[in-house]
Amino acid sequence: MSDTELRKIFDFNPSDLIANQMGRLSDKQAERIKKAEQGANNIFRGVGIFLILIGILISFFLLRAATQAGWELTSSNTIGPLVALGFIWLILGLFAFGAFKLASAKRDMSVQKVEGKIRLVKVEKQQSYKTASGSTSHRTVQQYELRVGKVKFEDVDEELLNVIEEGDNYIFYYSPYNKEILSCEFISKGK
pLDDT the model gives residue 75: 59
pLDDT the model gives residue 129: 83
Q: Is the CB of residue 20 less than 8 Å from the CB of residue 111? A: yes
- The answer on pLDDT for 16 being more than 90 is yes
Can you state the angle between helices 27-68 and 14-21, rounded to 10 degrees? 80
- Average pLDDT, stretch 32-54? 85
Give pLDDT tens digits for 148-191: 988 999 878 888 888 888 899 999 999 887 788 999 999 988 77
Q: Are residues 97 and 40 in the same domain?
A: yes
Backbone angles phi, psi at 147, to 5 degrees: -115, 130
Q: Which structural domain range is residue 159 located in?
A: 3-25+109-188
Q: Are residues 182 and 113 in the same domain?
A: yes
Q: How many domains does the chain have?
A: 2
Residue 169: name the closest of 149, 154, 143 by CA.
149
Q: Are residues 95 and 160 in the same domain?
A: no
Distance of alpha carbon 186 from alpha carbon 81, whole angstroms: 67
Instruction: Label residue 76 by pLDDT band (50, 70, 90).
Output: low
Q: Domain boundary residue among 104, 133, 158?
A: 104
The pTM assigned to this predicted structure is 0.66
- CATH number of the domain enclosing 12: 2.40.50
Strand partners, 108: none
Residues in the chain: 191
**For residue 74, how far is the Cα from the chain centroid?**
49
